[in-house]
Amino acid sequence: MSNPDRPNDAAQRFRHPWRALLAGALVGLIALGVSACSVLSDGRSPDRSRSTPPTMSEAERLYQRYRLAAIEGEPIMRVRIERAAETAIIAGPARINVTPGSHQTSPRAVLATPVRVAIDDSAWILTDSAGQAHRIQRATRGSSPGDPGERLMVEPSAPGALLTVSGSPLPGMISLHGRWDSAPNRFDVVEHVPIELYLPGVISKELYLHWKPETFRAQAIAARSYALHERQRRMALGHHFDIESTTNAQVYIGATEHDVSHAAVEDTRGKVLTWRGSILRAYYSSTVGGRAASARETWPVTAGQEFNLAAPIQASPRDDSDSISPFFRWEVTRPTDDLLARIRAYGENRQNIFRRLDSIRTIQPIAFNEFERPTRYRIIDDAGKFWEIIAEEFRLACNFPVDGRPGVTNQNRIPSSDFTVTIKDGAATFNGRGFGHGVGMSQFGAEAMARRGERAEAILMHFYPGARIERAY
């Protein structure tokens, strides 16, 4: 990766056996376009009135404008669209090809859409538009989601259409992975899509659509870096997918008609952030509120997660650029009993000591990074017992879902892990700053810099000091 203007050995690391398959299947489908947590990988969504998925004809016209995306060395992302689904509706083209296991075999079934997919102990059940059920035998219990008998591949029978899953148009192909684990008779829906087609569906969902093109270019490089890093990690672990489509990784909408997103991806094709020759896990969040967090103090750094020690994703000086964010400063009040229930539920889910917490008297920050952002909190119960927790873990615990209680909303969510707490009369009032984990790029900060005329490269160097921008392929 010494010369960012030319393909290099990094491309070899990203080869994937699905590339050739997708190249053939997408020639007509996407003759194609090329153009992977955030506003809003952290749970909050901005106004999406202009980012709803396009109609099929609009999406098809858009993706047919571009050349074939599965070029030599371009990675294929395996994006988990649905996890442990009971059913899925696949549509888009008039007919779909369904092939069990290896794509090298002939299609087992050619079905008229829409097709409803389900699974039982012995077979996949695909019900076509005429209501006829087709059964395809699945593997024996104990097989993994990657076992050929536990996988179905779905593609259009004829070029020129995008598949849809539960109404969302997708620019790639679909594989269905049966599960025998804690979700029997359920399956994962995974899209196999060239990364340069995946990325527009990320950045158009992560940012406000009216923001500056340079913000989109910076986001495209950060999202590509995060996606490829996660892909490497998942492949090393032997998983059947590379990345989630939700706030657990990067939000992904599928096919999008947003021209600025496509242009940003095309302009930055193959560019990633690196640190010491490796792709950087380029975290980002909505707003840091003037005080950044460090990856090493937010997530584990044990074996297999040493990447969180990389210097560019540690806390660095910030100004008040993201004061344009509505979450630069915030206040939220929650009933103490609600807060207690959520922390206990979080402890039960993670099987840690917080499942035994039975009261909350005081919450105090007890450790800070070099920029005075809290890194640990102490909870003191009514008996005077101390309970200590990492700041980001505490944010997740405060927002954890509890059966029988209303879900956390944008109005009462604890947006970040940088706050002080006052408890009085059965209520806890949080006064805080920022939205999200606070590591890496601030999206509102990036937009503020773009409005001042800064280029994407300068924005990225500000938020990831010491990193380099290089071509991965």
pLDDT digits (tens, 9 = 90+) for 80-138: 999 999 999 999 999 999 998 755 556 678 999 999 999 998 899 999 999 999 999 88
Using DSSP bridges, classify how beta strands 173-179 and 186-194 pair: parallel, antiparallel or unpaired.
antiparallel
CA distances from 340 to 92, 151, 346, 432 (A): 46, 42, 10, 19
What does R_g of the chain's alpha carbons equal in angstroms? 23
**Number of structural domains the chain divides into:** 2
In the block, which residue shows the tokens 């995974």? 190
Q: Which residues contact residue 61 at a Cβ distance below 8 angstroms, ignoring those fewer than 6 apart?
A: none
Statement to judge: residues 262 and 340 lie in one domain:
no
| Closest among 452, 445, 447, 415 to 430, alpha carbons compared | 415
pLDDT at residue 185, as a whole number = 87
Statement to judge: residues 254 and 357 lie in one domain:
no
pLDDT at residue 17, as a whole number = 33
User: 89 exposed, middle or buried (CB, 10 Å; 0-12, 13-18, 19+)?
Assistant: middle
Statement to judge: residues 266 and 369 lie in one domain:
no
The verdict on residue 109 lying in a domain is yes
The verdict on residue 288 lying in a domain is no
Where are the strands (E) in 394-443, listed by range? 419-424, 427-432, 441-442
The verdict on residue 291 lying in a domain is no
The verdict on residue 194 lying in a domain is yes
The verdict on residue 471 lying in a domain is no
| Closest among 172, 167, 177, 166 to 192, alpha carbons compared | 172
CA distance 14 to 17: 10
Statement to judge: residues 261 and 360 lie in one domain:
no
| Closest among 86, 33, 65 to 193, alpha carbons compared | 33
Range of the domain at 245: 10-272
Statement to judge: residues 244 and 335 lie in one domain:
no
pLDDT at residue 342, as a whole number = 97
Q: Which residues of the chain have pLDDT under 70?
A: 1-72, 102-107, 141-149
User: 152 exposed, middle or buried (CB, 10 Å; 0-12, 13-18, 19+)?
Assistant: buried
CA distance 407 to 235: 34
* C-alpha neighbours within 13 Å on the C-beta side of residue 102: 3
Statement to judge: residues 226 and 356 lie in one domain:
no
Q: Among the three residues 252, 272, 292, which one is the final residue of a domain in this structure?
A: 272
Buried b (16+ CB within 10 A) or exposed e, 390-402: bbbbbbbbbbbeb
Statement to judge: residues 263 and 345 lie in one domain:
no
Where does 351-429 have alpha helices with state H?
Answer: 391-398
CA distances from 201 to 34, 52, 186 (A): 12, 11, 26
